[in-house]
Structure 1
Amino acid sequence: MTVFGTCSPPRTEQAGIPSPSLNTKGLKRSSRSRHPDFGRIIWTIVNRSNALLPGSPNYLALNQLLEICPPAKVPRPLQFATYLAFGLQTMASTTSNGLPNGSAHTIRFIPSRYDSQDSQQSATRLILAVRPEWASPDSKIEFVRFTDGITNTLLKAINKKGGWSQDKVDSEAILLRAYGAGTAVLIDREREAQNHALLMKYGLAPELIARFNNGMLYRYIKGRVTTPDDLRKPSIYCAVARRLAQWHATVPCIPSSPSPLTNGVSRGATGGDSNDGRNGHVDHHHHHDAARQLATQALIDNTAPGKLAPNLWTVMRKWILALPTATPEQRARQSELQEELDSLVKQLSQRPGLGDNGLVFAHCDLLCGNVIVLPPQSSGPPNDDNDDDTPSVSFIDYEYATPSPAAFDLANHFAEWGGFECDHSVLPTRSQRQEFIQQYIESYYNLLPGEAKVDRKAEVAKLNAEVDLFRGIPGFYWGIWALIQAIISDIDFDYASYAETRLAEYWAWKAEADASRAASGRELPLRERRWCQDEVTEMKLRHTISGRTISTTPQR
């Protein structure tokens, strides 16, 4: 099978045989890959310069082929060279100068899989596909498992080659990321790869070396993963503020794939799940009902009219539509969440904000495990307002990244100070949020020279107010996420209870917003008390926490 995205043609494209014209006439659905020019057409489309720019004849021709042939037989355009789908055709001439060991090139696709039942052998095959020299007699490949959760399996592949120092071993290390079972209903894996390629262009992600059927390979970032305690340290949260401002100020929001049938609910069909795209109750039969899929996608994309899709609001709409509806209770829950989302969209989606049309390229999952403290004197890109005495951080895992109001990205990060245990007593106080947002605004506008005359004090006050408005939305977002996880996950965690915990945060916020809590005389919940607090009185608050605990840490 052809390795798409490399320079190796299929056997039909041998010496002296010219590349065929991209004429797909006669390639009927019934003929599928039996068409005599099928392999040559695909190879020519993939390897011609700029062949897959959106809207080009070759892009349209390839989409026609994908309609004719099963997606399992023909990789999507992003599996050939991810950067092409968003016109990042200049990436080959740019450098990933942001992280210790990044470089940019065309992204390969390896037609192979990681198999958790044959972890060592399948992982080794994937690594040798991109590092064949690691098969030398003096090489010794080892794998370090970082996490094994619902969203992914993450392995660090190292070569303890004779004569290499530990620093050299780490600088050459590769991370293997295999997608978790069923997660295509939650995560658009092609969009994730697009995000990674885009961030590479701006020096904000490590080199994406290759994609394979159910995952990706990328460079290891040397550094230390933070803990929830770290996020609450001023030196760290100011570094997070600077890096988040860099994301929001420099990385453009990008639209989705031009082909509707590679968007939204149907994307799970090519998302590369470890369970071959079988996502529980969700119907992902390839093109089984194209009209229904297109109608559903139109509904999703129009969630927030006038906004670039996908975005925060379309993601939540997609998730709500994926909830189970087998019982009256499930249907009532889905209807309730639909109504709440409609209300939130009316209240919040059209508010003015930073970025393009109120949207920035947001990470949307800045929990401690996705924040890396870089080593001192890192070769990472310079951050304004940073010096040698302050730490620098980088962000990993871009699977949830999407255009979003900046206030949501900040509010979501603040919610993560409590960890998966949802310890509301350690969430940032008003003064801590103020310090974070001041650092963020300074860095954001320093990266926009044309906006140097902006009243930054006023901007801090505005963003503070917006984050306050958005403080309940992360609970809504991750509550829906956990309801789906309760259906698709096969790990030992009570996602149903976690969903109710997160949704309770949303309901508490709403009760303050509409004044229903005060009218009823109910006590102000701990999370809302902490949010209103000016100074840190952490130990006192800890004694007021209820006995609720969550015994296991889930993985996103």
Structure 2
Amino acid sequence: MAVMTNGFLEGSLPEELMQLLLSLASNWGDVIDISTLKVVHLSGAMTNEVYRISWPTNTENVPRTVLVRIYGDGVELFFNRDEEIRTFECLSMHGYGPKLLGQFREGRVEEFIHARTLSAVDLRDPEISDLIAAKMREFHNLDMPGPKNVLLWDRMRNWLSEAKCLCSTDHVKEYNLDRFEKEISLLEKSISGSHQEIGFCHNDLQYGNIMIDEQRRSITIIDYEYASYNPVAYDIANHFCEMAANYHTDTPHILEYSKYPGLEERRRFVQQYLRSAGDEPSDAAIEQLADDVEKYTLANHIFWGLWGLISAYVNHIEFDYKEYARQRFEQYWSRKREILDVKGVDGFVEQRKCDL
């Protein structure tokens, strides 16, 4: 939303948003003086533009604060906004995340959670990691309305089709997009299993979507745009993959896979995840889930690689989406032989990395 962002930076809020803020303030007994509004852009978001807006209240030194989310360009290619709002409201009723305070044409206003957003380094803190594992288990056990079918594979195929339509012929060739229909089918056949638990997954559990109340040592998961039912192993795999990222650097698109968690760290997380259900998991259960998680990292690389390519064409947030996509695809090809026994699967030929 380049136009909206510039308007915010110049101090000019969209009229519809301003009217919504005035209405909310009135309901709370506040009087907004536009000149006293404080607007702060929150960095790290790659789909939307997010702002913290606050204004003085009658209580001395206690400002009123809300979060404003301006929807990014092209998001309708990734998910249905109406469904995402319904998920947001349902989770709010379950006591998860912020409350929806109001909507306007370009975005929405949410309750501002007074907790700290995690940083990249926080994901490696054993205590915080245990809290995340337990909260993820709780999230996966939510009984959400609507179909409980796995969305992953259909979504990947839809995104592949969108990417091919948007990309130039050169980019289709450069990123080997014509190969991914077979690769998605390969993964669906080789890593899906009847033993795998299906749950309500966040599907984007990067550090910026996790908040911690330092005093209560409690975790809140936010931003449910990609949430759907999926194998829980896929969601955990996504979280592990995000440990390679730091979106608050001068090069936020660069992924450092040397930071991907090692075997013991992955097992520890899986053990805590299973243990939080109330019973001590068996070694076999830990090994099985850890193995499934590792396989689903491959699906994650294709998923977010396609997301990056589509975003490069439709989103104007300052982020090198194409380079991000290249790294995700390269990681898929380089890890495929290691993770899968590809030689015996339907004769598909393995490729080590993208021909970039």
* Rg comparison, structure with higher value: 1
Q: How does 1:78-477 map to 2 (within 5 A)?
A: 115-119=4-8, 120-122=12-14, 123-132=17-26, 133-135=29-31, 140-147=36-43, 150-166=46-62, 169=63, 172-249=64-141, 251-255=142-146, 308=149, 311-325=151-165, 327-329=168-170, 333-354=176-197, 359-377=198-216, 391-419=217-245, 420-443=253-276, 445-446=277-278, 456-477=282-303
The letter for the 2-side match of 1:319 is: W
Kept in 2: contact 1:138–1:161 (CA 8 A): no
The 2-side partners of 1:148 and 1:392 are apart by 22
Q: CA deviation at 1:322?
A: 0.7
* Secondary structure of 1:323's aligned partner: helix
Q: CA deviation at 1:327?
A: 5.0
Out of 314, 321, 329, the position equivalent to 1:503 is 329
Kept in 2: contact 1:238–1:439 (CA 8 A): yes
The 2-side partners of 1:176 and 1:455 are apart by 42
* Gap change, CA 1:424 and 1:334, over 3 Å in 2: closer
Out of 489, 492, 516, the position equivalent to 2:315 is 489
The letter for the 1-side match of 2:162 is: A
The 1-side partners of 2:124 and 2:212 are apart by 14
* Gap change, CA 1:128 and 1:254, over 3 Å in 2: same
The letter for the 2-side match of 1:417 is: M
Q: CA deviation at 1:414?
A: 0.7
TM-score (norm 2): 0.82
The 2-side partners of 1:137 and 1:494 are apart by 38
The 2-side partners of 1:374 and 1:475 are apart by 31
* Secondary structure of 2:153's aligned partner: helix
Task: Report the identity percentage.
Answer: 27
* Secondary structure of 2:229's aligned partner: strand
Kept in 1: contact 2:70–2:107 (CA 8 A): yes
Kept in 2: contact 1:412–1:471 (CA 8 A): yes
* Gap change, CA 1:237 and 1:490, over 3 Å in 2: same
The 2-side partners of 1:498 and 1:116 are apart by 23
The 2-side partners of 1:200 and 1:441 are apart by 25
Instruction: Provide, for residues 358-416 of structure 1, a one-character-per-residue CA deviation record: whole Å limited to 9, x for no partner.
Output: x2111111111111111313xxxxxxxxxxxxx32211111111111111111110111
Kept in 1: contact 2:274–2:281 (CA 8 A): no
Q: Which residue of 1 aligns with 2:348?
A: none
The 2-side partners of 1:121 and 1:497 are apart by 33
Q: Which residue of 1 aligns with 2:248?
A: none
Kept in 2: contact 1:222–1:375 (CA 8 A): no
The 2-side partners of 1:432 and 1:194 are apart by 35
The 1-side partners of 2:160 and 2:122 are apart by 33
The letter for the 2-side match of 1:239 is: L
* Gap change, CA 1:121 and 1:314, over 3 Å in 2: same
Kept in 1: contact 2:191–2:292 (CA 8 A): no
* Secondary structure of 1:471's aligned partner: helix
Q: CA deviation at 1:116?
A: 3.8
* Gap change, CA 1:239 and 1:462, over 3 Å in 2: same
- The structure whose residues are more often helix, as a share, is 2
Unaligned runs of 5+ in 1: 1-113, 257-306, 378-390, 447-451, 517-523, 526-556
Instruction: Provide, for residues 35-92 of structure 1, a one-character-per-residue CA deviation record: whole Å limited to 9, x for no partner.
Output: xxxxxxxxxxxxxxxxxxxxxxxxxxxxxxxxxxxxxxxxxxxxxxxxxxxxxxxxxx
* Gap change, CA 1:515 and 1:124, over 3 Å in 2: same
- The structure whose residues are more often strand, as a share, is 2
* Secondary structure of 1:322's aligned partner: helix
CA root-mean-square deviation: 2.7
Kept in 2: contact 1:321–1:334 (CA 8 A): no
The 2-side partners of 1:128 and 1:187 are apart by 30
The 2-side partners of 1:219 and 1:467 are apart by 33
Asked which structure has the greater RCO (Cα within 8 Å, sep 6+), the reply is: 2
Kept in 2: contact 1:479–1:499 (CA 8 A): yes
Q: Which residue of 1 aligns with 2:249?
A: none
The letter for the 2-side match of 1:252 is: D
The 2-side partners of 1:440 and 1:323 are apart by 35
The 1-side partners of 2:13 and 2:204 are apart by 32
The 1-side partners of 2:316 and 2:155 are apart by 23
The 2-side partners of 1:181 and 1:144 are apart by 21
* Secondary structure of 1:483's aligned partner: helix
Paired residues in the alignment total: 325
The 1-side partners of 2:4 and 2:316 are apart by 16
* Gap change, CA 1:200 and 1:514, over 3 Å in 2: same
Q: Which residue of 1 aligns with 2:341?
A: 514
* Gap change, CA 1:479 and 1:131, over 3 Å in 2: same
